[in-house]
Chains A and B, each alone.
Chain A
């Protein structure tokens, strides 16, 4: 009798397990579905489209195999855009990290208006890109811009500077605006970490003979390492893919002086009406990012 009861109980349990399994599958189904629709499908179709020569308005085309890739890798524009992309990403990321840490260190100290300052720092990050870029374009304007006005008034320059229409000014302006827009992200992440560093570490270091600079390099920076690894990872991905800020501020110009890969993809797809080439560019961009990220993560893990 007890054996039978035990057996029926285990049977019931097993069917209960199965039902739980079904419920689990049901519950994650929406996520899997959404994931497939927005990530897997576009990814696969981009790889697929990259093998065709397609006229964008009709989306009709013919199989060309790897011709799109051959053409891209042989073109100067692709390499120029990649170089621009790297310059933009490295430049703006460096500024973001440096400014971000400096401002976080300042906010970590007991400023009088610390709470207010903390909210104000987030302002550029909250502001919509379109609005921010329109304001910056006015500031940079060569004829009416405040920046040129002040520089002329202070006697620093004799002639108005063409901030966005000449090189390397356009790239420098771009890097600067990008840094201004995104450094608050670094501030918030670093500040949160700073507040978690125990005071005793600083006190032990000052007893051990460390001055202010040594306390920064021997206590603060090592403690920030982990958070900076994540911040650099995320910001690199986001900056590498940045489209709207660059498109709105310079449109990739002068000529292709500030054209990065995302802008090139856009141009191929909708200005030159070559969806195949655009897809191939996007796939190459993804591969480059994957390469960088895997290198970075393997280095960071040591």
Chain B
């Protein structure tokens, strides 16, 4: 009904390219997050979809309509801003009613729909208040109400939770998921917070420097990152990377870095190996490192207990290695232990362009 399609969309501001030849297809009714570090172009992408910025190149479609030339009001979208952008002189009811009034909806109908939206968001008791008399979470719900009341085909959410405190953020995350299930509309959610993206989305589009890095469900983004940027960006603490070379072939393949040598025989690789220069990056997540008597020696540099788990920072043959261990582990800085990696969880990336070399079939 109302999917979204970006085809080779670019946006340049003077000499700066914010979005670079980006293509993306979002299904109707899907909850998609656009995730990336600040300045990656994610907000620009959303603003182009909303009609607040005009793309320099490419086409954007909502449903079957190309919307490049349409004004924001004609796109059948609603947007929730990071700062909520509530009209300060209007009451909560006035704010929610505003888009209906501008669309000349009849008075009775307006009252009915405002009441409906207020019921969904539990705002009934606040309808006569002004925005400045509300808490952050309540303002957030009013902003959602103003979007909801129009029943738009697409919801655009620009970091809507980043101005809330941690506890409220967790609560609103759940509320948003519930809302999405209930109304079943397409939602595009821009965030720099991977936790929000991972927990809420059906698919995540990871952006970096205006380019799409990967577009996949959260599980795949985590387990099968398309390149070393996605691998390093998703996950806290980040994935560890070791730079080295790939030696040998077939089941005799090993990863060499200095005097470190790790057998990679059981790791299926894609065929497109850069033969002449076999420089690679080996990636291993902190939770896939364990103690092993046959492993490589490593010195503990730092112990960070968080209660339910302990983050350990090792000196692993000159490389810094972060591992996630049990909360009740008895270990101290200065200790030397032997470490091994879970072989099937290792990820191999080409050093030249960062793309993943593991075969896609490995989980």
What 0/1 readout, one digit per residue, does chain B (79-101) give for beta carbons within 8 Å of chain A?
10101010111000000001100
A194 CB → nearest B CB, Å: 15
Q: Is A219 an interface residue (CB 8 A)?
A: yes
Q: Are A206 and B73 in contact, CB atoms less than 8 angstroms apart?
A: yes
Q: Is B324 an interface residue (CB 8 A)?
A: no
Known A-B contacts A203-B52, A222-B88; the reply to A208 vs B83 at CB < 8 A is: no
Q: Is A14 an interface residue (CB 8 A)?
A: no
Q: Is B34 an interface residue (CB 8 A)?
A: no
What 0/1 readout, one digit per residue, does chain A (176-204) give for beta carbons within 8 Å of chain B?
00000000000000000000001011011
B155 CB → nearest A CB, Å: 11
Q: Are A207 and B87 in contact, CB atoms less than 8 angstroms apart?
A: no
Cβ 8 A contact of A208, one of B51, B88, B102: B102
B14 CB → nearest A CB, Å: 14
B88: chain A residues within 8 A (beta carbon):
222-223
Q: Are A203 and B89 in contact, CB atoms less than 8 angstroms apart?
A: no
A198: chain B residues within 8 A (beta carbon):
83, 85
In angstroms, Cα B72 to Cα A205, docked, is: 10
Question: B residues near A, CB below 8 A?
Answer: 50-52, 71-73, 77-79, 81, 83, 85, 87-89, 98-99, 102-103, 146
Q: Are A201 and B102 in contact, CB atoms less than 8 angstroms apart?
A: no
Q: A207-B50, A218-B87 are in contact. List 19 more A-B contacts (CB 8 A).
A: A198-B85, A200-B81, A201-B85, A201-B87, A203-B79, A204-B81, A206-B71, A206-B72, A207-B52, A207-B72, A207-B79, A208-B99, A210-B73, A210-B98, A214-B102, A218-B98, A219-B87, A222-B87, A225-B89
In angstroms, Cα B71 to Cα A102, docked, is: 26
Contacts of A204-251 to chain B: CB distance below 8 A: 204-210, 214, 218-219, 222-223, 225
Q: Are A208 and B146 in contact, CB atoms less than 8 angstroms apart?
A: yes
B89: chain A residues within 8 A (beta carbon):
222-223, 225
A219: chain B residues within 8 A (beta carbon):
87
* 8 nearest CB pairs, A to B: A209-B102, A200-B85, A208-B99, A222-B89, A204-B85, A209-B73, A207-B72, A200-B81
Counting chain A CB atoms within 10 Å of each CB, the highest count among B81, B85, B88, B103 belongs to B85
In angstroms, Cα B77 to Cα A214, docked, is: 19
In angstroms, Cα B86 to Cα A201, docked, is: 7
Known A-B contacts A214-B102, A222-B88, A222-B89; the reply to A207 vs B78 at CB < 8 A is: yes
Main secondary structure of the interface of A (DSSP, over half): helix
21 A-B pairs with CB atoms under 8 Å apart are: A200-B81, A200-B85, A203-B52, A203-B72, A203-B79, A204-B85, A205-B98, A206-B51, A206-B52, A206-B72, A207-B51, A207-B73, A207-B78, A207-B79, A208-B99, A209-B102, A209-B103, A210-B73, A219-B87, A222-B87, A223-B88
Q: Are B81 and A208 in contact, CB atoms less than 8 angstroms apart?
A: no
A207: chain B residues within 8 A (beta carbon):
50-52, 72-73, 77-79, 99
B81: chain A residues within 8 A (beta carbon):
200, 203-204
Residue of B nearest to A222 (CB): B89
In angstroms, Cα B71 to Cα A203, docked, is: 11
Q: Are B98 and A208 in contact, CB atoms less than 8 angstroms apart?
A: yes
B204 CB → nearest A CB, Å: 25
Cβ 8 A contact of A203, one of B85, B98, B99: B85
B332 CB → nearest A CB, Å: 47
A226 CB → nearest B CB, Å: 10
A205: chain B residues within 8 A (beta carbon):
87, 98
Residue of A nearest to B47 (CB): A203
A200: chain B residues within 8 A (beta carbon):
81, 83, 85
Residue of A nearest to B75 (CB): A207
Residue of A nearest to B73 (CB): A209
B111 CB → nearest A CB, Å: 18
In angstroms, Cα B72 to Cα A204, docked, is: 9
A223: chain B residues within 8 A (beta carbon):
88-89
In angstroms, Cα B86 to Cα A200, docked, is: 9
B50: chain A residues within 8 A (beta carbon):
203, 207
Residue of B nearest to A200 (CB): B85
Residue of B nearest to A202 (CB): B85
B326 CB → nearest A CB, Å: 46
Residue of A nearest to B89 (CB): A222
In angstroms, Cα B85 to Cα A223, docked, is: 13
B297 CB → nearest A CB, Å: 56
A201: chain B residues within 8 A (beta carbon):
85, 87
B168 CB → nearest A CB, Å: 21
A206: chain B residues within 8 A (beta carbon):
51-52, 71-73
B71: chain A residues within 8 A (beta carbon):
206
In angstroms, Cα B88 to Cα A208, docked, is: 15
In angstroms, Cα B85 to Cα A203, docked, is: 9
B102: chain A residues within 8 A (beta carbon):
208-210, 214
In angstroms, Cα B97 to Cα A210, docked, is: 13
